[in-house]
Amino acid sequence: MEDVLEELFDVIEDRKETLPEDSYTASLFAHEKGENAVLEKLGEETTELVLAAKDDDRDEVAYEAADIVYHLLVLLSMKDMELADLEAELEARR
C-alpha cells in the first residue's frame, strides 16, 4: 500500500512539474479553478462513499475510496505538502 501511494504521489508531482496536455492531473494544476475542482470532487466522492457503504457495496466502496485517495494526494501536492506530512500525522497518533 505504501509503495502504491508513493508511486502515485510521484506521478502527481511529475504531472505538476511537466504539465502534459493529455493529463487529467495536469489539468487540475494548470487550471485557475483546479483547487476548487479537487475540493468539489472530494465532497462528491465522500457522499458516494457513504452511499456505497450504506448499500454494503464493497466494490463501490473501494472505487470511491480510491477516487478520494487520488484527489487527496493531488490536494497535498497543491499545498506543496509531502506524503511524509500525512505519514507524520498518522505516526503521531499511534
Ligand X SMILES: N=c1c2ncn([C@@H]3O[C@H](COP(=O)(O)OP(=O)(O)OP(=O)(O)O)[C@@H](O)[C@H]3O)c2ncn1[C@@H]1O[C@H](COP(=O)(O)O)[C@@H](O)[C@H]1O
Cell triple for residue 18?
Answer: 511537466
Stretch that binds ligand X, among 19-27, 51-59, 77-85, 86-94 (CB under 6 A): 19-27
Stretch that binds ligand X, among 18-26, 50-58, 79-87 (CB under 6 A): 18-26
Which residues neighbour 73 within 8 Å (Cβ) at sequence distance 6 or greater? 5, 8, 9, 12, 83
Stretch that binds ligand X, among 8-16, 52-60, 76-84, 85-93 (CB under 6 A): 8-16
In the complex, least distance from residue 71 CB atom to ligand X, rounded to whole angstroms = 7
Interface pick for ligand X out of 9, 52, 61, 70 (rule CB under 6 A)? 70
Contacts 24+ apart (CB under 8 A), 37-44: 38/71, 38/74, 38/75, 38/78, 39/75, 41/67, 41/71, 42/68, 42/71, 42/72, 42/75
In the complex, least distance from residue 39 CB atom to ligand X, rounded to whole angstroms = 13
Applying CB under 6 A, the residues found at the interface with ligand X are 8, 11, 15, 23-26, 41, 67, 70
